Chains A and B, each alone.
Chain A
Amino acid sequence: MLSRVADCLFWLGRYVERAENYARFIDVNYNLSIDLPPDLREQWPPLIAATGDMELFEELNGTDYSRNTVIFFLTFDERNPNAIISTVRLARENARIVRESIPRESWEVLNELHYYIRDVSKERVWESENPMQYMMRIKGSIQQLNGIGYDNIPRNHGWYFAKMGQHLERADMTSRILDVKYHILLPSVDEIGSPLDYLHWNALLKSVSAYNSYRQLHHALDPLRIVSYLILDRQFPRSIFYCLNIVEKCLHDISESKHGYSNQAEKAIGNLRSKLEFADVSDIFDEGLHEYLDKFQDSLNKISEAVYQQYFKIEPNTMPDIQSQSQS
């Protein structure tokens, strides 16, 4: 597979996943804000903090953390490179480059989503009474996209690169949404165990579609168990450990190596995965949840860079006569 094409597929996977997570985050936070007591309704700054775009947000909007401003910023503001409108555009741009390598239906769904977001953006729907129907549509399209891929794409290198990008992004997103918890609650210890606290934990689980499965497994909402579930669980497909496992498996399927590692990317992911595999939740809290997640995001970036060096980097095809001169 061409390095350039692999690179595009990897980022296609990442951007689509990012867009879907943003849609879900906004949806959950919106619903949370409806449930909260009137004086606590606007709980949007933590969400902006978790996306890592607080600086840009305040540059554009000052401290106006009103619902409409935040939803616009995360969804339709083209000045924000991580807004859904931007990540869908970037996903489509990558898909357009590699259109010959993806199923026609996938391309058409993504292309239609791109035009849909542009159309509803022109109607200023973030100001409407219930903007969440648009988030539903966006999530739905991306789930459709994932479904088409699951049923139609041969499990070749292209598939593994896209899936790797998707799961690296998902691990990153789960860590960020956990971090929101840090921003909202941990500063105010008094609130722990209060109804408000439960609302927040509920919202957190829902924003990674973990509410039902967590409830079935553990019943009671317990912060330690929730953190453990989202970071270390072996079966839940959005837990960080699960995602890392998939990323590692993708890397091994690509290199066709079975044990240990055959390149730096595999070494880095193997290290990180085993660290989680042999950790329990107290290790995480000993270090501090925020510090732990911060370090984790750093490790993810290093893995991403190692994958780039191993598979995507293209040598310039400089003039052969210049090459031979420098060799002599």
Chain B
Amino acid sequence: MRSEYDSFSHFDEMFDSEGNCREAQKPLLNQLDNLPFDKLQQLQHTTEKAQLSMGMTFNVYKDNEGIERILHLDVIPRIINGSEWKTIDQGLQQRIRAIDLFIDDLYHDQKIIKDGIIPKEVVYSSKDFLAPCKGLNPPKGIWSHISGCDLVRNEKGEYLVLEDNLRCPSGVSYLLENREIIKQTFPGLFMDMGVQPVSEYPAMLMDLLQGLSNKENPQVAVLTPGIYNSAYFEHSYLAQQTGAELVAGQDLMVKDKKVYMQTTTGLKQVDVIYRRIDDTFMDPLAFNPQSMLGVPGLMEAYRAGNIALANAPGTGVADDKAVYAYIPRVIKYYLDQDPIINNVKTYLCNEPDDLKYVLDNIEDLVVKETNAAGGYGMMIGPKATKEEHAKFRRLVKDNPRNYIAQPTLSLSTVPTLTEKGIAPRHVDLRPYVLNNGDKINVVPGALSRVALVEGSLVVNSSQGGGSKDTWVLYK
């Protein structure tokens, strides 16, 4: 495989710059070398069939018609060795702990603003800083229960945080189902390599959610926007795996500041909601009056302490791409520690020096809208046209607070099955973190998203990305 595999221009996770296979990857290389190409293609085909039968689909809308697609799962697993994972694990625990203290501070005393660590404007201009949440104390004092940080590796192989996804990050169902499929594809290799299991996630999630209520046997529900949401598969999957009730806004109603679901035997009180809809759609009375997805009066019930919501409303403020730039300082401020995992260098367009640098070097930078997600509202300088450069210069100048810029990263590559053979493709890494206050758990596994097009850096599923099962080794 080594002979046709051209990985010299990037950090490749299988081969070092001399072309030698890295130690932890050797069993995988051995397996790949012993499989004829057509056999691999056959395994890939079986994988796709399994995904389709399981209904692991997401909806794409085209010409007003919903089409169900599967998220391409590359049959070759990605390997992360135990010691690398330890750094990721500790780094994410540290980060989420600090972020939780940060959010709580922002909605209470705002010490961090008073101490001049983060400018007031940056916080207040975030559309996810929600005035109705000021002074609120969520159950057990936790704001960010469930998160999925996006990590990338730079040209030295160092892990960096690219984004903190604190607003209902999706993909964990793919992590769990991918594992079921790929484990069956390479059972021998899986056993030989010693891979840490991920199957505990649903139980850990349910523990966390139940722990948010003081009742002995609280009623937990997963709130979904409905079947047409692209992540519906995940919502129903998590409800099924945890035993929570899957509800849509129309199933719930608020009476006397308590939340009830409408059942065949009348109203039944709900105690904890894992909501998979955005803050401002949750309650048309408190936020977006147009929302048809939410439950009128939900925030009232929340304020009265009659319902726990995960993640807590208002959490998204720490997920704003401008606020993100301050997270290393946030860690230092609350924990008095240096960040174990660094940020990607980020230019804030609302700071005059950074703005000038961005406008002068836009051709080399990745420019992102501060509150967009899913690979939308961004421009990759080196891949964009002159017209797009001009357009983004104008956009940035008109509304600097709305944009940040980062150097174009050369994401790491991993061996991936393509039509022509095994080739390096760029990946990111999304581990999932569960925070139950006392303990922060990072699931030993991740959704690796892979840019299937040669040379592409965009891994989002909405933009032609696929996924990989990620094996975190014991050693």
A residues lining the B interface (CB < 8 Å): 1-6, 93, 96-101, 104, 107-108, 111-112, 115, 157, 161, 254, 311-312, 314-321
Tell whether, in the assembled complex, residue B240 and residue A99 are in contact, meaning their CB atoms are under 8 Å apart.
yes
Q: Note all chain A residues with C-beta closer than 8 A to B53.
A: 108, 111-112
A-side interface mostly: helix
Q: Please list 21 pairs of residues, one from A and one from B, whose beta carbons are closer than 8 Å in the complex, sorted by A's number.
A: A1-B265, A2-B245, A4-B248, A6-B264, A96-B232, A98-B236, A99-B237, A99-B240, A100-B240, A104-B240, A107-B55, A108-B55, A111-B52, A111-B54, A311-B264, A314-B250, A314-B251, A314-B262, A317-B254, A319-B297, A320-B285
Assembly CA distance A111 to B52 (angstroms): 8
**Residues in B whose Cβ lies below 8 Å from that of A101:** 240
- Chain B, range 230-247, C-beta contacts under 8 Å to A: 232, 236-237, 239-240, 245-247
Bound Cα distance from A254 to B55, whole angstroms: 31
Given contacts A2-B245, A2-B262, A107-B55, contact A317 B239 (CB under 8 A): no
Instruction: Decide if B103 is an interface residue (CB 8 Å cutoff).
Output: no
Task: Tell me which of B52, B246, B300 has the highest count of chain A C-beta atoms within 10 A of its own C-beta.
Answer: B246
In the complex with contacts A3-B264, A320-B296, A100-B254 CB distance below 8 A = no
Shortest CB-to-CB span from B322 to chain A, Å, is: 35
What distance in Å separates the Cβ of A291 from its nearest Cβ neighbour in chain B?
35
Residue of A nearest to B294 (CB): A317
Instruction: Judge if B282 is at the interface, Cβ distance under 8 Å.
Output: no
Q: Are B263 and A2 in contact (CB under 8 A)?
A: yes
For B239, the chain A residues whose CB sits under 8 A away are 100
Interfacial chain B residues near A104, Cβ < 8 Å: 240
Pair A254/B240 contact, Cβ less than 8 Å: no
Kindly supply a per-residue 1/0 record for chain B positions 285-319, scoring 1 wherever the CB is within 8 Å of any chain A CB and 0 otherwise: 10000000001110010000000000000000000
A3 and B262 in contact, given A315-B253, A317-B296, A319-B285 (Cβ under 8 angstroms): yes
**Across the two chains, which residue of chain B brings its CB closest to A93?**
B227
Given known contacts A4-B250, A111-B55, A320 and B297 CB-to-CB distance under 8 angstroms: yes
A321 touches B285 (CB 8 A): yes
1/0 contact trace for B266-299 toward A, CB 8 Å? 0000000000000000001100000000011100
| Nearest-Cβ distance from residue B69 to partner chain A, whole angstroms | 13
In residues 1-60 of chain B, which contact A (Cβ within 8 Å)?
52-55
B249:A317 contact, CB within 8 angstroms: yes
B251 and A108 contact, CB distance less than 8 A: no
CA gap between A97 and B226 in the complex, in Å:
8
Complex interface: chain A residues within 8 A of B255 (CB): 320
Report A-chain residues with C-beta under 8 Å of the C-beta of B237.
Answer: 99-100
Given known pairs A2-B251, A108-B53, A111-B55, the reply for A254 and B296 (CB within 8 Å) is: no
Whether B195 sits at the interface, judged by CB under 8 Å, is no
Given contacts A99-B236, A100-B240, A319-B297, 9 further A-B contacts (CB under 8 A): A2-B251, A3-B263, A5-B246, A97-B227, A107-B55, A314-B251, A317-B249, A319-B296, A321-B285
Does B264 lie within 8 Å of A100, measured CB to CB? no
Chain A residues positioned under 8 Å from B284 (CB to CB): 319
Residues on B with C-beta less than 8 A from A3 are 251, 262-264
Chain B residues with CB under 8 Å of A318's CB are 296
Separation in Å of the B67 CB from the closest CB of chain A?
Answer: 13
A6 to B263, CA, bound (A): 8
In the complex, the 4 A-B pairs of residues with the closest C-beta atoms, listed nearest first: A100-B240, A317-B253, A100-B239, A99-B236
Report if B367 contacts A (CB, 8 A). Answer: no
Closest to B242 in A: A100
Measured CB to CB, the nearest residue on chain A to B295 is A317
B52 contacts A115, C-beta separation under 8 Å: yes
Query: Are B246 and A100 closer than 8 Å at their CB atoms?
Result: yes
CA–CA, A311 and B264, complex, Å: 5
From B232, B247, B261, B263, name the one whose CB has the most chain A CB atoms within 10 angstroms. B263
Q: With a CB–CB cut-off of 8 A, which chain A residues contact B251?
A: 2-4, 314
Find chain B residues with CB under 8 A from A5 CB: 246
Residues of B within 8 A of A4 (CB): 248, 250-251, 262
B344 on interface, CB distance cutoff 8 Å: no
Q: How far is the CB of A105 from chain B (nearest CB, A)?
A: 10
Separation of A320 and B283 alpha carbons in the complex (Å): 12
A254 to B263, CA, bound (A): 12
Give min CB distance, A12 to chain B, whole Å: 14
A96 near B227 (CB under 8 angstroms)? yes
Residue of B with least CB distance to A316 = B250
Q: Is B73 an interface residue (CB 8 A)?
A: no
Q: Per-residue CB proximity of B83-110 to A under 8 Å, as 1/0?
A: 0000000000000000000000000000
Q: How far is the CA of A318 from the CA of B240 in the complex (A)?
A: 29
B251 to chain A, nearest CB (A): 5
B52, B247, B254, B262: which contacts A320 (Cβ < 8 A)? B254
Q: Are A315 and B240 in contact (CB under 8 A)?
A: no
Query: Per a CB cutoff under 8 Å, which of B55, B249, B250 touches A99?
Result: B55
For A310, give the chain B residue with the smallest CB separation.
B264
B236 touching A315, Cβ below 8 Å: no
Q: CA of A254 to CA of B264 in the docked complex: distance in angstroms?
A: 9
With the chains together, A181 CA to B262 CA distance in Å? 44
Task: State A254–B237 Cα separation when bound (angstroms).
Answer: 27
- Contact mask B388-399 → A, CB, 8 Å, 1/0? 000000000000
A79 to chain B, nearest CB (A): 16
Instruction: For A107, list chain B residues within 8 Å (CB).
Output: 55
| Cα distance, A183 to B236, chains bound together (Å) | 46
Tell me, in angstroms, the Cα distance from A112 to B54 when the chains sit together.
9
In the complex, residue of chain B having the shortest beta-carbon distance to the beta carbon of A4: B251
How many Å lie between the Cα of A260 and that of B239 in the bound state? 37
Q: Which of A2, A3, A108, A314 has the most CB of B within 10 A?
A: A2
